[in-house]
Chain A
Amino acid sequence: MSIDLSQFYEVFFEESFEGLDIMESELLALTPGDTDSETLNTIFRAAHSIKGGSGTFGFSVVADFTHELETLLDQIREGTREVQTFHVDLFLKAVDCLRDMLNALKAEEEPDTSLSSEITKKFLAILNDEDIGDASTSPAKQETAMDQPGAFGFFDDAYNDPIKPPQQNSSSGSKTWHIFFKPEPHLFKTGNEPIFMFLELADLGEMSILANIDNLPPYHDLVPDDSYLNWQITLVSDTNKDKIEEIFEWVLDDAELIIECDEAETVETVETVETVETVEVAADTGPAVSPATSQPVTPEPVAVKEQALPDTETPVIVKEKENKKNPEATSIRVSIEKVDSLINMVGELVITQAMLSQYGEGEFTENRRMLMLEGLAQLATNTRELQESVMQIRMLPISFVFSRFPRLVRDISQKLGKQVELKLLGETTELDKTVMEKISDPMVHLIRNSLDHGLETPAERTAMGKSESGTVTLNAYHQGGNIIIEIIDDGKGIDPQIIRTKAIAKGLIQEEDEFTEQEIIDLIFLPGFSTKEEVSDLSGRGVGMDVVKRNIQELNGTVEVNSKINQGSTFTIRLPLTLAILDGQLVTIGGNTYIIPLVNIIESIQMTPKQVNNVGGDLELFRQRDEYIPILRMDQIFNHEAVIESLTQGILVIVESEFGHIGLLVDDLLAQQQVVIKSLEANYQRVEGISGATILGDGTISLIIDIGGVISLAGLKKQHRNKMRSLNDHQLVV
């Protein structure tokens, strides 16, 4: 009858982390003196579910810890105590601590209790400050509880070793508690099991139990689903009534429960219990007890006597190791709505399929052909809709990422002594989950940078005539097939002069190199660049921006920075909405079909000889309006046999790149279509200039061009760029 609870762990952890996130964001909304009961209730509910869940799963370290947190919350909620800043700080620390503990448990490791017991002490200190009446939860006791993590292992082997001996023997201050517990017959139907409660009680102190089986019907009348027993429990413990009640919390409505306290320090004061038959509670709780197993009356009604718990007892976390080792395996919560719409579409697809197969049978006539074509058109619509819906499932609002930043900003600004206001815009903008997971770290880095390097201290700001508190704005919106995320601060901006000096000092550029201001600012994305003199733990190890840029590029995205001195900086991240599907332009190069991502293409042009200039022999430029665009002969770059004889026979596809506009010379343009991106690396290896492959309608494979890679293949280097710029500058002057 023991249930393998481990199958629910995943859900528990997920919900708990979600709960922690909620607690965190609500805590941040909590201001000293606040009495907004809704906020407090939300926090309390989240904490309570975590406590309940962890108790159920036997993670008593977490449950105990959350209990203290909850006690303080409860007092605040009920108005007996006012919220203060240090409360919020402590709660936030506790949230972090809980997160660490849960992570450890998830990874099947022993959670580190040093931090949690420290925080518990602080909680207790707060609780005891004004409320000596609740002294029963003394710090000493708490510590012992904390030092024995996960000591409640009922579900791994509850029935072989049913009653866990108490954690600590009755110390001074112990009281004798008499508990009478008589559940209603339907107790088991509510999914409760008394033995678990008793086991929990046993953890509180030394316990003895008497079961009263008077109500047990004759064997043939016994309904196995009903509970007939009641129990008299004697508990010697330094606990308080609340704690005991809490154990029975779930069954209060379904049972008669009397808890009485005997202040005496003795153990054997069970006179209240008279002639009752005792049974071993441990082995045969509840209805399964047959009269035959009951023992004769004993004057000393101690049925279960506990022994000291050996320290070597392995704690709770016992489960299969193999399938839990992959922390990357994540899940998505999908709204029923989205699932329903999927089911609808699949339904339509099935109907269309049935229709088509009907038309396909029998003699084939012109009339049928028409119907068939209609059906195929229907199929195309269905497929496209289905594809969109499936993609929708992967889309989550970006608030999932944004929501962690208020906390981050709060912590950092406190550390830096800066006043920061964080504005979040476009939180409902949807983004693919995979992209979302990978964009979070670069964003953290950028925000840290803005706070650390960008924003000034209040004094500096006042001197500049700005308001004391700086503003960091996170903005997300869709643009074409991209999502744009902006991180805007109104700080001191990036000084090109400082960057330049620094870059020269680091040998990244030469003294005589000429750069525009924008190009100098872009130098911050070079590896090994950090302008902050002293290395702080926030940012400034010089591993920052280049890593950010690389991470974003791995997602086929770009990052740009715009900055004005004393007005602030804006970092703009541009990402594709999804990594799985791409709008592509099919082209032929040397007779082979390739795909150029449509998002990169600006226009496609057939050139006239007059528009082509030759510079320095090897660089061909296409002059368009006021701009010179370098021409890359794709057949040469990819070493294919040339199909076109001259530049003017082919078509120049002008694309956007980090070098500005680039013209890719291809043989011909084919159709535009959506393609599913497949990895070339899965079975082969990385290919320069190719970002992936796809399978076209006729089953052939077509490769997707990676513009950045093509540029480096072409060896389009800085000297070319400089040459071009001087040309372009010249053009502007003329």
Chain B
Amino acid sequence: MTNKQLAQVQNQIDHNENNQDQDQYLTFFMANEEYGIDILSIQEIRGFDATTTIPNQPIFIQGVMNLRGTIVPIVDLRLRFGLEQIPYGDITVVIVVKAKLEEGEKIIGMVVDAVSDVYSVNHTDSTRAPDVGEADNREFLKGLVNVGEKMVVLLDLKKILTFS
């Protein structure tokens, strides 16, 4: 084994060790803000398909979608956050997550504007969201993290996807 290879191996080991204190987040855009969710909870990312409306549900429940035989509810995250809805188009993205909720694991789709990137974030780097008073969406936030110049809002899936 050459020295170079050894160095590579060493590097990998270091990297792996680093990973233990790191979480990976997938980020997406909504109204020009970048939000991050734990990458391990994501099942797939797909385009928006026709949904079937469920009667008498909160406005942010778009309906249910047929995901290869599974009935999956679709949440419009803009509406969930009280933002203005934008019309769905060909580039509208649904992030399908497997969320561990109180009632068990559920597969739920979230409509977002666009998927952005994957970041590794050190545990220590994320800070608690500042107390922003009575803001409606504060409960959805898990923390804030700086990635380079940008600020990413880490979301608490459990809170977002618990509807009652």
Q: How far is the CA of A580 from the CA of B82 in the complex (A)?
A: 39
Q: Is A9 at the interface (CB under 8 A from chain B)?
A: no
Q: Chain A: which residue is nearest B61 at the CB level?
A: A684
Q: Which of A640, A678, A684 contacts B53 (CB 8 A)?
A: A640
Q: Judging by beta carbons under 8 Å apart, are A685 and B164 in contact?
A: yes
**What are 6 A-to-B residue pairs whose CB atoms are below 8 Å?**
A637-B55, A687-B57, A688-B56, A689-B56, A693-B71, A701-B64
Q: Which of B55, B70, B163 contacts A638 (CB 8 A)?
A: B55
Which residues on the B side are within 8 Å of A685 (C-beta)? 103, 163-164
Q: Chain B: which residue is nearest A702 at the CB level?
A: B52
Q: Judging by beta carbons under 8 Å apart, are B54 and A690 in contact?
A: yes
Q: Judging by beta carbons under 8 Å apart, are A682 and B66 in contact?
A: no
Q: Judging by beta carbons under 8 Å apart, are A693 and B53 in contact?
A: no
Question: Chain A: interface secondary structure?
Answer: loop
Which residues on the A side are within 8 Å of B71 (C-beta)? 678-680, 682-684, 693, 695, 701
Q: How far is the CA of A699 from the CA of B66 in the complex (A)?
A: 7
Give chain B nearest CB distance to A442 CB in angstroms. 25
Name, among B55, B71, B72, B73, the residue most crowded by chain A CB atoms within 10 Å (CB to CB). B55
Chain B interface size range:
20 to 34
Q: Is B144 at the interface (CB under 8 A from chain A)?
A: no
Q: How far is the CA of A560 from the CA of B75 in the complex (A)?
A: 41
Q: Chain B: which residue is nearest A592 at the CB level?
A: B53
Interface residues of B in 44-78 (CB under 8 A from A): 50-57, 64-66, 69-73
- With A683-B71, A685-B163: A713-B56 Cβ-Cβ less than 8 Å: yes
Which residues on the B side are within 8 Å of A684 (C-beta)? 54, 64, 71, 73, 106, 108
Q: Chain B: which residue is nearest A688 at the CB level?
A: B56
Q: Is A614 at the interface (CB under 8 A from chain B)?
A: no
Which residues on the B side are within 8 Å of A695 (C-beta)? 66, 69, 71
Q: Is A703 at the interface (CB under 8 A from chain B)?
A: yes
Q: How far is the CA of A595 from the CA of B69 in the complex (A)?
A: 18
Q: How far is the CA of A687 from the CA of B54 in the complex (A)?
A: 8
Q: Is A272 at the interface (CB under 8 A from chain B)?
A: no
Which residues on the A side are within 8 Å of B108 (C-beta)? 683-684
* A-contact bits for B107-131, CB 8 A (1 contact / 0 none): 1100000000000000000000000
Which residues on the B side are within 8 Å of A680 (C-beta)? 54, 64, 71
Q: Which of A639, A679, A701 contacts B55 (CB 8 A)?
A: A639
Which residues on the B side are within 8 Å of A713 (C-beta)? 56
* B-contact bits for A370-391, CB 8 A (1 contact / 0 none): 0000000000000000000000
Q: Is A331 at the interface (CB under 8 A from chain B)?
A: no
Q: Judging by beta carbons under 8 Å apart, are B56 and A639 in contact?
A: yes
Give chain A nearest CB distance to B108 CB in angstroms. 6
* B-contact bits for A108-129, CB 8 A (1 contact / 0 none): 0000000000000000000000
* B-contact bits for A662-698, CB 8 A (1 contact / 0 none): 0000000000000000111011110111100101000
Q: Judging by beta carbons under 8 Å apart, are B55 and A700 in contact?
A: no
- With A682-B71, A683-B108, A685-B164: A640-B66 Cβ-Cβ less than 8 Å: no
Q: How far is the CA of A680 from the CA of B107 in the complex (A)?
A: 11
Q: Chain B: which residue is nearest A701 at the CB level?
A: B52
Q: Judging by beta carbons under 8 Å apart, are A690 and B50 in contact?
A: no
Give chain B nearest CB distance to A169 CB in angstroms. 56
6 A-B pairs with least C-beta separation: A638-B55, A701-B52, A684-B73, A683-B106, A683-B107, A693-B71
Q: Which of A639, A683, A688, A699 contacts B70 (CB 8 A)?
A: A683
Interface residues of A in 66-101 (CB under 8 A from B): none
Which residues on the A side are within 8 Å of B53 (C-beta)? 592, 640
Q: Chain A: which residue is nearest B75 at the CB level?
A: A684
Q: Judging by beta carbons under 8 Å apart, are A689 and B70 in contact?
A: no
* A-contact bits for B133-164, CB 8 A (1 contact / 0 none): 00000000000000000000000000000011
Q: Which of A639, A679, A689, A701 contacts B66 (CB 8 A)?
A: A701
Q: Which of B66, B70, B163, B164 contacts A700 (CB 8 A)?
A: B66
Q: Could you list 14 further interchain pairs (A-B, Cβ under 8 angstroms) beyond the known A683-B71, A689-B55?
A: A592-B52, A679-B71, A680-B64, A683-B106, A683-B107, A690-B54, A690-B55, A693-B64, A695-B71, A701-B51, A701-B52, A703-B52, A703-B54, A713-B56
Residue positions of B touching A, CB distance < 8 A: 50-57, 64-66, 69-73, 103, 106-108, 163-164
Q: Chain A: which residue is nearest B107 at the CB level?
A: A683
Q: How far is the CA of A638 from the CA of B54 in the complex (A)?
A: 8
Give chain A nearest CB distance to B6 CB in angstroms. 41
Q: How far is the CA of A680 from the CA of B64 in the complex (A)?
A: 9
Give chain B nearest CB distance to A580 CB in angstroms. 14
Q: Judging by beta carbons under 8 Å apart, are A682 and B55 in contact?
A: no
Give chain A nearest CB distance to B54 CB in angstroms. 6
Q: Judging by beta carbons under 8 Å apart, are A687 and B55 in contact?
A: yes
Name, among B51, B56, B65, B72, the residue most crowded by chain A CB atoms within 10 Å (CB to CB). B56
Which residues on the B side are within 8 Å of A593 (C-beta)? 52
Q: Chain A: which residue is nearest B50 at the CB level?
A: A700
Q: Chain B: which residue is nearest A676 at the CB level?
A: B69
Q: Judging by beta carbons under 8 Å apart, are A683 and B164 in contact?
A: no
Which residues on the B side are within 8 Å of A703 (C-beta)? 52, 54-55
Q: Judging by beta carbons under 8 Å apart, are B52 and A700 in contact?
A: yes
Q: How far is the CA of A612 from the CA of B51 in the complex (A)?
A: 35
Q: How far is the CA of A679 from the CA of B164 in the complex (A)?
A: 19
Q: Chain A: which residue is nearest B72 at the CB level?
A: A683
Which residues on the A side are within 8 Å of B164 (C-beta)? 685
* B-contact bits for A698-734, CB 8 A (1 contact / 0 none): 0111110000000001000000000000000000000
Name, among B69, B71, B164, the residue most crowded by chain A CB atoms within 10 Å (CB to CB). B71
Give chain A nearest CB distance to B118 CB in angstroms. 25
Which residues on the B side are within 8 Å of A639 (C-beta)? 55-56
Which residues on the B side are within 8 Å of A638 (C-beta)? 55-56
- With A693-B71, A700-B50, A701-B66: A687-B106 Cβ-Cβ less than 8 Å: no
Give chain A nearest CB distance to B59 CB in angstroms. 11
Q: How far is the CA of A637 from the CA of B28 in the complex (A)?
A: 37
Q: Chain A: which residue is nearest B99 at the CB level?
A: A683
Give chain B nearest CB distance to A32 CB in angstroms. 54
Q: Chain B: which residue is nearest A696 at the CB level?
A: B66
Give chain A nearest CB distance to B30 CB in angstroms. 22
Q: Chain A: which residue is nearest B53 at the CB level?
A: A592
- With A682-B106, A684-B73, A700-B66: A640-B55 Cβ-Cβ less than 8 Å: yes
Give chain B nearest CB distance to A590 CB in angstroms. 9
Q: How far is the CA of A640 from the CA of B64 in the complex (A)?
A: 16
Which residues on the A side are within 8 Å of B64 (C-beta)? 680, 684, 693, 701
* B-contact bits for A418-441, CB 8 A (1 contact / 0 none): 000000000000000000000000
